[in-house]
């Protein structure tokens, strides 16, 4: 039998990367301790849209397999009493970002037409005008269209360096040159058979070989927003594409560098950093964001600081087959959950982990979660049930609970 207990942190593997549920206005010590260590801080804060965002979370095996059912839950509110309150948050974010950066580090601030202008003035003040590097325009086609003005179809990503000797290697983001829009150029083939376009200027011939890469400028039109059925989608309303984050991180980081995102939402930055072999620290004020991020991350080297369960009558159903050497997860029995009416104990579980609890810390040794690729939950473990002394579950609404084995009566 397992009983619900409180844990104050979870450690997976060596626990070096960080995922924290916290508010940047009351910065947790774990983030303060990273001052001067980050090679890149990327921030995608609320845009001051005035919206109240919802999120969709697939329910059970069918939900993850087909996309329905996927009940809607409140995500985060992008609502402020006015510009003053919003700018207070932004000033805090930019100030903390600068403190976290190493002298060679860089800062990205992702906004849209609403707040990009005051943010540019603010960042010029905090980082200094000479540290401004780029205003990247990320243009896309999705979303509604206006007839009263030109449709607003781009986000703005400001790039600043902390100091004069910042790391930046554009050759890490090559794009295929192809034939492109070079109709005004002559086409040719050299002695090795390589195709090129050429132009003569001031008597000199310039050749651009088809097989040589080109590098992105500051207007990006080749990365689209995530489509409804994109397997990368987590259901978090303002999720950014991994491809965008990879292009932002690649030129400014190397393997082992630290990447920080203080408004990590569904965790795109952290997943991108993890894929690139970087260390990472992510934070979000919204526990659901942290829960989605955790389910998404494959990292086996993570510390998670997030409040646990929210009460309610819940029972963990497990089965020990001591002779067969098997431990089985049979689900969560819940009263009044915020799931579809016909719920099953197993479908109520989105992910589960096994491990041990010591002094309020859960040390995980195995993690199982549903995903669009693996909608079915791993239910049975071939190991001595007695070795499973603690379990952490995330239910289908994203609520995490810790359970400790209690002595049989
Ligand atoms: C635009 S979303 C980030 C989306 C993210 N880039 C992604 O790909 O999923 C902004 C996030 O900022 C978080 N946020 C808002 N105020 C915050 C605060 N004071 N401290 C930390 N996070 C905050 C919200 O909860 C939200 O998840």
What distance in angstroms lies between residue 114's CA and the mean position of ligand 1's atoms? 16
Q: How far apart are CA 318 and CA 383, in angstroms?
A: 14
Task: State the number of CA atoms in the 13 A half-sphere of 69 facing the CB.
Answer: 16
Q: What is the mean pLDDT of the chain?
A: 93
* Cis preceding linkage at 69, omega within 30: yes
pLDDT value at position 377? 93
Query: Which of 19, 21, 26, 45 has most ligand 1 atoms within 8 Å of CB, for mutation?
Result: 45
Q: Whose CA is nearest to atom 5 of ligand 1?
A: 265
Give me ligand 1 centre to Cα 76, in Å.
8
State percent of the chain over pLDDT 70.
98
CA–centroid distance, 371 to ligand 1, in Å, is: 22
Count how many residues are written for the chain. 409
Q: What percent of the chain has pLDDT over 90?
A: 80
> What residues have CB less than 8 Å from 320, skipping those under 6 apart?
326, 327, 328, 385, 386
- The predicted structure's pLDDT at residue 143: 82
Nearest residue (by CA) to ligand 1, atom 3, is 265
pLDDT confidence band for 298 (50 / 70 / 90) = confident
Would the pLDDT of 183 be above 80? Answer: no
Question: Among the atoms of ligand 1, which is closest to the Cα of residue 240?
Answer: 8
Confidence at 311, pLDDT banded by 50, 70, 90: low
Least confident of 20-24, 74-78, 166-170, 263-267: 74-78
CA distance 331 to 395: 9
H-run or E-run covering 134? strand 132-139
> CA–CA separation, 14 vs 364, rounded Å?
10
Instruction: Return the ligand 1 atom nearest residue 237 CA.
Output: 9
Domain 17-171+219-295 has CATH 3.20.20.80: no
Which pLDDT value is given to residue 178?
67
Kindly state the tokens that stand for 117. 């202008």
Question: Which residue minimizes the CA distance to atom 17 of ligand 1?
Answer: 285
Taking residue 361's Cβ as centre, other Cβ atoms within 10 Å add up to: 15
- Nearest Cα to Cα of residue 370 among 72, 59, 10, 55: 59
Cα 172 to ligand 1 centroid, rounded to whole Å:
28
If we measure between CA atoms, which residue out of 288, 278, 170 comes closest to residue 218?
Answer: 170
Residues flanking ligand 1, CB < 6 Å: 23-25, 44-46, 76, 89, 236, 238-240, 262-263, 265-266, 268, 283-286, 289
Confidence of residue 310 (pLDDT cuts 50, 70, 90): low
pLDDT at 360: 92
CA of residue 46 to ligand 1 center, whole Å: 6
For every residue of 241-267, DSSP letters joined together read PHHHHHHHHGGG--TT-EEEETT-TTT
Give the confidence band of 32 by pLDDT, cuts at 50, 70, 90. very high
Ligand 1, residue 75: give the atom nearest the CA.
25
In the numeric block, the tokens 């707040």 are attached to: 115
Tokens of 336: 């009044």
Q: Which tokens hold the place of 356?
A: 């041990």
Q: How far is CA 401 from CA 247, 264, 398, in A?
A: 36, 22, 10
Which of 41, 57, 76 for mutating ligand 1's site (highest number of atoms within 8 Å of CB)? 76
Cα 45 to middle of ligand 1, angstroms: 5
Ligand 1 atom with least separation from CA of 47: 1
CA atoms within 13 A on the CB side of 71: 16
**Predicted pLDDT of residue 131:** 98
Answer for the pair 142, 224: CB distance below 8 angstroms, yes or no: yes
Tell how far the Cα of 275 is from the centroid of ligand 1, in angstroms.
Answer: 21
183 CA from centroid of ligand 1 (Å): 44
Q: 311's torsion region: left (phi>0), alpha (psi -120 to 50) or beta?
A: left
Q: How far apart are CA 244 and CA 231, in angstroms?
A: 16
Question: Rounded distance, CA 301 to CA 14, Å?
Answer: 5
- For residue 408, pLDDT beyond 80: no
Place of tokens 């990365």: 223
Q: Which residue shows structure tokens 């950093």?
A: 273
The region, left, alpha or beta by phi > 0 then psi within -120 to 50, assigned to residue 202 is left
If you measure from the C-alpha of residue 20 to the centroid of ligand 1, how many angstroms do you get, rounded to a whole number?
Answer: 12
SS3 state of residue 30: helix
Measured by CA distance, the residue closest to atom 12 of ligand 1 is 263
pLDDT reading at 392 higher than 70: yes
The residues spanned by each domain of the chain are: 17-171+219-295, 176-214, 314-405
- Per-residue pLDDT tens digits for 282-297: 999 999 899 999 999 9
In sequence order, which residues have a C-beta less than 8 Å from that of residue 273 and are 6 or more positions away? 245, 249, 253, 259, 279, 280
Q: Which two tokens stand for residue 313?
A: 């009558």
Question: Any idea which residue has 């997030």 for tokens?
Answer: 306
Comparing 322 with 182, which gets the higher pLDDT? 322
> Which residue's C-alpha comes closest to atom 25 of ligand 1?
286
Centroid of ligand 1 to alpha carbon of 6 (angstroms)? 26
């Amino acid at each position: 039998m397992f009983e619900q207990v409180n844990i104050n942190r979870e450690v997976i593997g060596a626990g070096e990367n960080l995922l924290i549920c916290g508010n940047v206005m009351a910065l947790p010590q774990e983030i303060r301790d990273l001052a001067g260590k980050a090679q890149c801080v990327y921030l995608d804060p609320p845009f001051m849209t005035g919206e109240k965002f919802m999120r969709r979370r697939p329910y059970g095996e069918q939900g993850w397999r087909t996309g329905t059912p996927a009940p809607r839950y409140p995500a985060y509110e992008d609502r402020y009493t006015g510009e003053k309150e919003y700018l207070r948050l932004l000033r805090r974010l930019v100030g903390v970002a600068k403190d976290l950066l190493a002298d060679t580090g860089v800062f990205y601030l992702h906004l849209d037409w609403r707040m990009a202008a005051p943010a540019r003035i603010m960042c010029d003040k905090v980082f200094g005008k000479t540290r401004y590097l780029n205003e990247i325009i990320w243009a896309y086609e999705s979303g509604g269209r206006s007839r009263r003005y030109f449709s607003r179809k781009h986000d703005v990503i400001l790039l600043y360096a902390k100091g004069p000797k910042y790391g930046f290697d554009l050759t890490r983001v090559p794009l295929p040159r192809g034939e492109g829009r070079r109709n005004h150029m002559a086409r040719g083939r050299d002695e090795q058979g390589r195709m090129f376009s050429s132009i003569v200027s001031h008597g000199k011939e310039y050749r651009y070989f088809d097989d040589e890469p080109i590098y992105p400028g500051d207007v990006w039109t080749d990365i689209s927003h995530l489509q409804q059925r994109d397997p990368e989608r987590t259901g978090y309303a303002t999720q950014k594409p991994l491809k965008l984050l990879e292009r932002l991180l690649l030129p400014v980081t190397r393997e082992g560098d630290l990447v920080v995102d203080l408004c990590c939402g569904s965790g795109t930055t952290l997943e991108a950093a993890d894929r690139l072999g970087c260390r990472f620290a992510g934070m979000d004020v919204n526990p659901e964001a942290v829960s989605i991020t955790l389910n998404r991350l494959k990292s086996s080297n993570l510390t998670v600081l997030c409040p646990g369960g929210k009460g309610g009558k819940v029972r963990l159903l497990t089965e020990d087959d001591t002779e067969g050497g098997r431990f089985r997860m049979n689900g969560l029995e819940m009263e009044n959950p915020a799931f579809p009416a016909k719920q099953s104990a197993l479908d109520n579980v989105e992910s589960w982990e096994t491990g041990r609890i010591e002094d309020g810390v859960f040390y995980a040794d195995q993690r199982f979660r549903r995903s669009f690729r693996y909608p079915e939950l791993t239910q049975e473990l071939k190991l001595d049930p007695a070795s499973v002394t603690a379990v952490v579950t995330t239910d289908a609404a994203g609520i995490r609970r810790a359970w400790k084995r209690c002595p049989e009566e």
